[in-house]
Chains A and B, each alone.
Chain A
Amino acid sequence: MADAATVSRFGQFGTRSKHIAAGDCVIAYSGPQNMTFITVKAGAVFANSYGRYPHDSIIGVEWGSKHPSATGRGFIHLLWPTPELWTLSLPHRTQILYTPDISFITSFLDLRPGVKMIEAGTGSGSFSHAIARTIAPTGHLYTFEYNADRYEKALVEFQEHGLTELVTLEHRDVCSDGFEQRDLVDAVFLDLPSPWEALEAAKQTFKKHKTGKICCFSPCVEQVLRTTAELQKQGFVEIKMFEVLVRSYDSRKTEVRPLPTRADEEQRRHDIGNKKRKEREAAASSSASDAANPAKKVATEDGSVKVELAEEKVDEAAAAPASVNVSQPQEVRTVREFTGLKPPREATGHTSYLTFATLLPQIYRGSDGEKINDESA
């Protein structure tokens, strides 16, 4: 097991076993909005509003199990950590990147095993984990954080998650101090308040003989304008900007009613008349009697629901206080039920603008084998 962890270089997240062992990171799942990230230690106890879960009871359990609390009254599901679940269970230290953004950036920066990459700043390490997953086992991530507190926390997490072979974390302000990496990386990701300040330095880090990709992640339009101007100045091409979101759906069993007919209206008046009469009778006799049943829904074999206009059991002749004739044949009309899917009333409308650009190869050979372009020469 330990060997597998070393070779995948993706630590805890890259080591898939059937059963949970001491030292494993586990997502304690109680609901989509209620996930907690725990590291299993003998003797420790995890507690949430549904109960207490001694870690000892978790050790040896199969991943994905439904696990009862100490009293047996509550339960959690024990999930294997993925970067995405980890992100959702994260105590937020900065505005984190969400999965649609992470997915899109990963794809647009052409991340795959073997890619070397720069990230600034590290923030909560949310994207760092996703990058590490994709570039493992042969790639490398250099990530920079200028906030001392966030740097310390991320450092501990990378160590705990066994990512140190794959990720190098540095406490550094790249806007003022630049990067030491030269001719080394395939991709750069800048999640900084003023990414344009780091672009000139970032350009130097790219491999010179091949295409490089950069992404700047900024919430505001003003930032995008300054970034694109600087990208153009630095010679980046193919500048593109996107907003990406997902729209989630709620489902609800609902129905459409048929248009009312004259018969419906007459029936309604008839029912109200009956009801009032019954109430009068009930009041008069002081005995409890059933209220009139206006209509009953009956499930039919084809799954639709018929609304049967109520057959009055009361003697028609005696009960005819209104002048309407209700003894006509009653027509059976159908309410159509369906599962309605709709987006929730409120949803995320914006995360950030994703600005991408390409840096073309700076050194290449002419068709005669000569170097025909080498800026560094």
Chain B
Amino acid sequence: MSVEPTNPSVAANAADAGPSVDFVGRASVVDDGALISDGAWAIVNMPSETTKLVQLNKDSKVMMGKFGSFQTSLLMGLPFDLPYEADGQGVVTPAPEGFKLDELDIETEEGANNKNLVDKSDSQRLTQAEIEALKEKARIGDLEGVGVIKALTENSETWKEKTEFAKAKYIKRKQKKYSRVFTPVRPTARLLCEHFNRENPRRILEIRGDTLSQILTAANVRAGGRYLLVDEAGGLLTCALAERMQGWGTIMMLHEHPASNHDMIKYLNLPSTVPDVMRTLSWNRIEPHTDEDIENTEMKNADPERSQRYQARIKKIKDSREYLKAGGFDALIIVSLFDVKEIIEMLSPYLAGSAPIVAYSQYKEALTDAWQHMRTAREFVNSQLTESWLREYQVTGGMHPTMRMSGTGGYLVSGIKVFEVESHASTRPRAPGKGQGKGRRKRDDGDDGGEHRGADKAMKMDE
């Protein structure tokens, strides 16, 4: 923890005077992170279009399943994101051109179409045994992956009649089987999000990349900010914030169990020169507990070493609590399975005036109460409920939307914390009963329209 433990008065000052962070004297890590170093994590794009999250150590081997394995030592000092080809013997070399498609004849005769195509199994002149032999040669490195595909296309009777699009599709399919080109990519929060969405979506509560990006903008995440965070997406949010802060500012994280889980941050390969921005506090420690007074616990008579460890732990808890209670946070970000409305009620007092609040859920029903609360309570403005929508297109080899798309990116509820009481700076008299009250606020919210007034009344009835 690089941030010095703060006493409440200092923290309060900090909240008033803006973040007291030193922006000078630390070089950017943008360039340093571009090369693979010992112990760096990488998201490896496999030929099969899957991804693997691996740590690249100086003396280890990465297994690529049927694609063989490679020595990671050979990657040290080379750039991330470049395609590399494994030769089947463990040696890798940069393959900036990727898969050498130029060697394949994908030129198409004019008017090629599937008019005369007959669906039969004997259009391939190579026998199964011959294909197996080629595959074996490719596996041990005697033949490049592209060689197998070349042989297949040259011996296909229907190849000439295929359209350019059909050929591209065929090659792409075969590439997954025979290519040994892989790409170790420098992990970013966006790529981690994509990776876990593919491999284990529940771990990150199915947050999609576009939704994650909207959370960061809605909360105005930046270097030097101080954020309240509830992250039950396996640490993905912590990662995303840390990436946008690069050591400047503070993440105050509330968590359930005695220890927080933000292990995912290690995948970002942040160099040790980047200060830790994390402070954590368990929900059960927001209010003091009797065990914090050592006289009340059996630690009283424990041996000095244990007792010291215990006291250090308690001190950390107390520091975090004081830091939280000093308030003045720049935003509240909630990705949680707990009741969002309850979280907002509990934590919004610690927000600075005008601080944004943003909460995510896969289910809009889980956000409805929180949204209604923000719409009707007068300490929030500009609240909205949105769903993320994303459509990807295939652009090369015929432009069209991709055949399969993600069904939903989930829901966000957002708003801005304001003060309900009118500012004290004005001493002018006010007309009684004007400029106040829910009806008034609704009118001022302009586009909220009349129908919501009815909704508000109904809400009150429910209460």
Contacts and interface: CB of A to CB of B under 8 A. Distances in A.
Interface of A: 1, 4, 7-10, 14-19, 29-34, 50, 57-75, 77-80, 82-84, 99-100, 102-104, 106-108, 110, 112-116, 130, 133-134, 136-139, 186, 207, 209-211, 221, 224-225, 228, 232, 237, 239-253, 299, 303, 337, 339, 341, 343, 353, 355, 358, 360-361, 364-367, 369, 372-373
Given A207-B31, A242-B390, A104 B425 contact: no
Given A138-B28, A251-B452, A361 B388 contact: no
A243 B354 contact: no
Interface of B: 15-24, 26-31, 34-35, 74-83, 92-94, 96, 98, 186, 188-190, 209-210, 212-214, 216-218, 220, 222-224, 243-246, 248, 328, 330, 352-356, 364, 368, 371-372, 375, 378, 381-382, 384-393, 395-396, 399, 416-426, 428-431, 434-435, 444-448, 451-452, 454-455, 458-459, 461-462
Contacts of B372: 251, 339
B462 A303 contact: yes
B419 A31 contact: no
A299 B461 contact: yes
Given A100-B388, A242-B390, A367-B74, 16 more contacts: A79-B381, A104-B214, A136-B223, A210-B34, A210-B81, A228-B396, A228-B399, A241-B399, A247-B388, A251-B368, A341-B364, A343-B387, A360-B96, A364-B82, A367-B77, A369-B77
B384 A32 contact: yes
B399 A1 contact: no
A17 B17 contact: yes
Contacts, number: 330
Given A186-B30, A299-B461, A367-B78, A7 B22 contact: yes
B210 A100 contact: yes
13 contacts: A1-B18, A7-B23, A59-B425, A68-B428, A73-B435, A112-B246, A133-B220, A211-B79, A211-B80, A253-B454, A339-B455, A364-B78, A367-B75
Contacts of A34: 446
A112 B244 contact: yes
A29 B380 CA distance: 12
A355 B354 contact: no
When A and B form their complex, which 3 residue pairs have the shortest distance between CB atoms, in order from nearest? A64-B353, A114-B28, A72-B430
Contacts of B94: 364, 366, 372-373
B268 to A, nearest CB: 10
Given A65-B353, A137-B223, A137-B248, A29 B79 contact: no
B271 to A, nearest CB: 12
Of listed B81, B246, B355, residue having the most chain A CB within 10 A: B81
B178 to A, nearest CB: 20
B390 A33 contact: no
B72 to A, nearest CB: 11
Contacts of B454: 252-253
B386 A134 contact: no
A365 B454 CA distance: 68
Contacts of B352: 16, 18, 63-64, 80
B447 A246 contact: no
A99 B220 CA distance: 11
Nearest to A31: B446
B144 to A, nearest CB: 18
A50 to B, nearest CB: 7
B459 A253 contact: yes
A300 to B, nearest CB: 11
A16 B18 contact: yes
Majority secondary structure of chain A interface residues (helix, strand, loop or mixed): mixed
Contacts of A78: 354, 423
Contact of B354 (A32, A63, A103, A107): A63
B422 A247 contact: no
Contacts of B381: 29, 77, 79
Contacts of B462: 303
Contacts of A303: 461-462
A246 B388 contact: yes
Contact of B19 (A4, A130, A248, A250): A4
Contacts of A253: 454-455, 458-459
A77 B188 CA distance: 37
A65 B17 contact: no
Contact of B81 (A18, A244, A248, A358): A358
Contact of B399 (A106, A114, A224): A224
Contacts of B75: 367
A72 B426 CA distance: 9
Contacts of A113: 28, 222-223, 244-246, 248
Given A72-B434, A77-B381, A84 B328 contact: no
Contacts of B17: 1, 4, 17
Contacts of B382: 29, 32
A113 B21 CA distance: 14
A299 B433 CA distance: 29
A327 to B, nearest CB: 33
Contacts of B18: 1, 4, 8, 15-17
A77 B458 CA distance: 26
A7 B248 CA distance: 11
Contacts of B243: 112
A97 B26 CA distance: 32
Contact of B418 (A65, A108, A250): A65
A251 B385 contact: yes
B53 to A, nearest CB: 18
B224 A232 contact: no
Contacts of B384: 32, 248-249
A228 B395 contact: yes
Contacts of A232: 396
A8 B23 contact: yes
Contact of B216 (A33, A103, A250): A103
Given A107-B190, A243-B393, A360 B388 contact: no
B390 A243 contact: yes
A130 B416 CA distance: 18
Of listed A69, A104, A107, A244, residue having the most chain B CB within 10 A: A107
A8 to B, nearest CB: 5
